[in-house]
Structure 1
Amino acid sequence: MNRSHGPAFRAAQLDLAHCPACRGRAVIKGVFHELACVQCNASGWISVDTGEALPLEVLVTQLSIRLQAADHQLAHFRKLTPCGASQQYELNNRRGAGGSNYTGD
């Protein structure tokens, strides 16, 4: 075992699962209106290891880590350039009226 003093240098990503009570919606349907789910602190997420709601400080950090990973993945997909016929279709070939794009449609 490694011994260390103080907090970790990086926050570790915990495994999260949807709350079984609200099914990840963060609210439970009441008789007249929706109520905040008390089993997951109205977040829709619980810890996979313990099955309990995360403290709010930890939950905010974990959701931020997941959001940053999703933003990184979206940026990666947006950088991909189309290839093949779609690439030629999107480029300006200056064959249309006034030098605009002509696609032959």
Structure 2
Amino acid sequence: MQKRPVPGFERERIELETCSICKGKAVVNGVFFELVCIYCNGSGWVVGGSKLVLSSDELVTQLSFKLQEAQREIAALKGPAKVSGIQRQHNQSNRLGAGGTNYTGD
């Protein structure tokens, strides 16, 4: 029997998108200097579709979810390198050399 999460015990994942006013930079250009974007409260992120602003504690949680997802994608893309042929002969010890060292035939 497989374990399943109980509804209500996991935080809801909210789809975020960049603020259309500041383009995700969290600041807008004023006359003399940059101002904090008032449409996204200086975060650069709003709720997808509705353009609502999240509270700072909820925003931190949702951004953490996005970061974890991005890190999983990066790890999946890096993955273990598949080595074959001559390169494998140099990287993996075959213990055929003097004293059980790697012999490459060079």
TM-score, scaled relative to structure 1 = 0.68
Aligned residue number for residue 98 of structure 2: none
Moved over 3 A (4+): 82-85
Task: For residue 51 of structure 1, give the secondary structure of its aligned residue in structure 2.
Answer: coil
Instruction: Please identify, of 17-26 and 72-81, the stretch whose mean Cα deviation from structure 2 is larger.
Output: 72-81
Report the Cα distance in structure 2 between the residues aligned to 1:26 and 1:81, rounded to whole angstroms.
38
Report the Cα distance in structure 2 between the residues aligned to 1:84 and 1:21, rounded to whole angstroms.
51
Task: For residue 35 of structure 2, give the secondary structure of its aligned residue in structure 1.
Answer: strand
Matched AA of 2:22: C
Following superposition, the deviation at residue 68 of structure 1 comes to 0.7
Task: For residue 72 of structure 1, give the secondary structure of its aligned residue in structure 2.
Answer: helix
Aligned residue number for residue 14 of structure 1: 14
Report the Cα distance in structure 2 between the residues aligned to 1:17 and 1:43, rounded to whole angstroms.
11
Following superposition, the deviation at residue 74 of structure 1 comes to 1.4
Task: For residue 28 of structure 2, give the secondary structure of its aligned residue in structure 1.
Answer: strand
Higher-Rg member (1/2): 2
Following superposition, the deviation at residue 79 of structure 1 comes to 1.9
Aligned residue number for residue 36 of structure 1: 36
Q: Pairwise mapping of residues 1-105 of structure 1 onto structure 2 (< 5 A)?
A: 8-83=8-83, 88=87, 91-92=90-91
The share of aligned pairs that are identical, in percent, is: 38
Instruction: Please identify, of 47-56 and 16-25, the stretch whose mean Cα deviation from structure 2 is larger.
Output: 47-56
Following superposition, the deviation at residue 44 of structure 1 comes to 0.7
Q: CA RMSD in A?
A: 2.9
Following superposition, the deviation at residue 49 of structure 1 comes to 3.7
Report the Cα distance in structure 2 between the residues aligned to 1:54 and 1:46, rounded to whole angstroms.
7
Following superposition, the deviation at residue 88 of structure 1 comes to 2.6
TM-score, scaled relative to structure 2 = 0.67
Matched AA of 1:88: Q
Give the direction of change, closer, same or farther, for the CA distance of 1:84–1:27 in structure 2 (3 Å limit): farther
Matched AA of 1:26: A
